[in-house]
Chains A and B, each alone.
Chain A
């Protein structure tokens, strides 16, 4: 546990050692605002809820989370510090989980900083704050799922740009599989169970059911098992590298 905490602390602080943290948070908040108010017509909807705001989260995460995850392993591989890190007496799982948790905590911090919109909506009307809290939790879980994909892909390359692009593509597949565009294409010919199977892999499907205000155990299991799966793959990839 000590080793995990060390890896976590170093990784988390490293976001703030460069302007990266600042740039990321500013762009994140700016994009959240722009999407919600301009594209989402937050004021015109006349509804005191944040569904418009949360509806854009999957699409923003699609680009911003891979940007957060791309350096996790690619940078260590490029600079050679991977060799240092893996020869320190730290179990591999602790390194993988510690790095992931640091990035997740950072994403959580960015998410918490969107609180002015929560204050705004409470000022304007009487929203259901239970639903908003559930949505924040759902959004955080979804960010973790995107991050685990990004971390896993980052560990396959020493090039951050490649890590970013491939992560965006894979995250896109996990996002889009629940969109009408894809589901309608399947509905035309596929049996219902297949359509549901495709849809059930979608972050949007699970996130939407949480933002409706119900934290269903199935959605939690989905996100946590996805994170677990990709972190396990991440560990295998790093371990396989050892065999040359």
Chain B
């Protein structure tokens, strides 16, 4: 369960996120869409406790991210933008570090690691330094790290960026498989992804929610029935592709 209320973040004169409110519950996969610079990553950074909001609040499973940070972060798995990881470590060492921090050890660690490694399909590269891995594999290492402790809430910033079509398909399958009892937010540029895995689509532009609907409803807004057209219309004011 993620409860975002009146979230606002300014950088100097720029308002990156403006009075954003959203509630996402278990079983939902929310696709967070918007043009570059719309505030997707900034919102995710605030939801996960990396940035402090200027106004508003975020609660993860009832724990306030600012005042009860550790309890909230324990319930959370996060894939940051660009899937950062310690390059000199191997995925095995890296996941061991994450497991320790997440207080998993012994049999629990082994089960969790096996599950995450299988889910992210990392078996072949477990003992290669992360910095030598391809972009797709690094993304999957980040994903494995995020799902390691089987969190109630997953926040994934562009989980399929840089993956080839087969890998995209696999990662989407993984996310769909976890969706039943988790609360998931993914950000993406790819509208096909919304169709493929999301139960709900939120488009934001200049830090505001411009639409919050089911993917099918969204597509129905355009005579062409295509999400691309709706997206362009909502975020640029371009009405050429749609009859208002």
Chain A residues near B85: list those with CB within 8 A: 81, 84
Cβ–Cβ contact B78 & A87, under 8 A: yes
- 11 further A-B pairs in the complex, CB-CB below 8 A; given A6-B100, A6-B101, A84-B80: A6-B97, A7-B101, A10-B89, A14-B88, A17-B88, A18-B88, A79-B84, A83-B81, A87-B50, A89-B70, A242-B52
B97 engages A81 (CB within 8 Å): no
Whether B101 pairs with A87 at a CB distance below 8 angstroms is no
Residues of B within 8 A of A6 (CB): 97, 100-101
Taking the nearest CB of chain B, how far is it from the CB of A83, in angstroms? 4
Given A242-B51, A242-B52, A244-B9, decide whether A87 and B80 contact each other with a Cβ distance below 8 A.
Answer: yes
B76 close to chain A: CB less than 8 A: yes
Contacts of A83 in B (CB 8 A): 45, 50, 80-81, 84
| A126 contacts chain B at the CB level, 8 A cutoff | no
Contact B52–A243 (Cβ < 8 Å) = yes
Within 8 A of B (CB), among A35-83: 79-83
Q: Chain A residues in contact with chain B, CB under 8 A?
A: 2-3, 6-7, 9-10, 14, 17-18, 79-84, 86-91, 242-244
Q: Are A89 and B80 in contact (CB under 8 A)?
A: no
Q: Does B86 contact A (CB under 8 A)?
A: yes
Q: How far is the CB of A67 from chain B (nearest CB, A)?
A: 17
5 CB < 8 A contacts A-B: A17-B89, A81-B86, A83-B80, A87-B50, A90-B101
Please name all residues of chain B whose beta carbon is closer than 8 Å to the beta carbon of A91 when the two chains form the complex: 70
Contact in complex: A86, B86 (CB < 8 Å) = no
Once the chains bind, are A79 and B73 in contact (CB under 8 Å)?
no
Within 8 A of A (CB), among B69-87: 70-71, 73-74, 76, 78, 80-82, 84-87
Give how many B residues have a beta carbon under 8 Å from the other chain's beta carbons. Answer: 32
A80 to B82, CA, bound (A): 8
> Which residues of B are at the interface with A, using a C-beta cutoff of 8 A?
9-11, 45, 48-52, 54, 70-71, 73-74, 76, 78, 80-82, 84-89, 97-98, 100-103, 145
Which are the 10 A-B pairs with shortest beta-carbon distances? Answer: A80-B84, A17-B88, A89-B73, A83-B80, A242-B52, A6-B100, A89-B74, A87-B48, A81-B84, A89-B70
Contacts of A84 in B (CB 8 A): 78, 80, 84-85, 145
Residue from B10, B45, B87, B98 in contact with A79 in the complex, judged by beta carbons closer than 8 Å: B87
Contact B88 A87 (CB under 8 A): no
Cα distance A10–B103 when bound, in Å?
15
Given the known interface contacts A87-B49, A242-B51, the answer about A80 and B80 at a Cβ–Cβ threshold of 8 Å is yes
Provide the bound-state CA to CA distance between A86 and B65, in Å. 12
Closest residue on chain B to residue A243 by CB atoms: B52
CB contact between B101 and one of A80, A88, A244 (< 8 Å): that residue? A88
Q: Which residue of A lies closest to B86 (CB)?
A: A81
* B86→A244 contact, CB < 8 A: no
Q: Output the least CB separation between B205 and chain A (Å).
A: 20
Q: In the complex, are the beta carbons of A2 and B103 less than 8 A apart?
A: yes
| Neighbouring B residues of A17 by C-beta, 8 Å | 88-89
Task: State how many angstroms separate the Cβ of B83 from the closest Cβ of chain A.
Answer: 8
By a CB distance below 8 angstroms, the chain B residues around A88 are: 73, 98, 101-102
How far apart are B66's CB and chain A's nearest CB, in angstroms? 9
A97 to chain B, nearest CB (A): 15
State the Cβ distance, B175 to closest chain A Cβ, in Å.
19
Min C-beta distance of B200 to chain A, whole Å: 23
Rounded to whole angstroms, the CA-CA distance of A84 and B82 in the bound complex is 11
Cβ A10 vs Cβ B86 within 8 A: yes
| Nearest chain A residue, comparing its CB with the CB of B99 | A6
CB closest chain-A residue, reference B75: A89
Q: Which residues of B contact A242 (CB under 8 A)?
A: 50-52
A38 to chain B, nearest CB (A): 36
Residues of A within 8 A of B71 (CB): 89
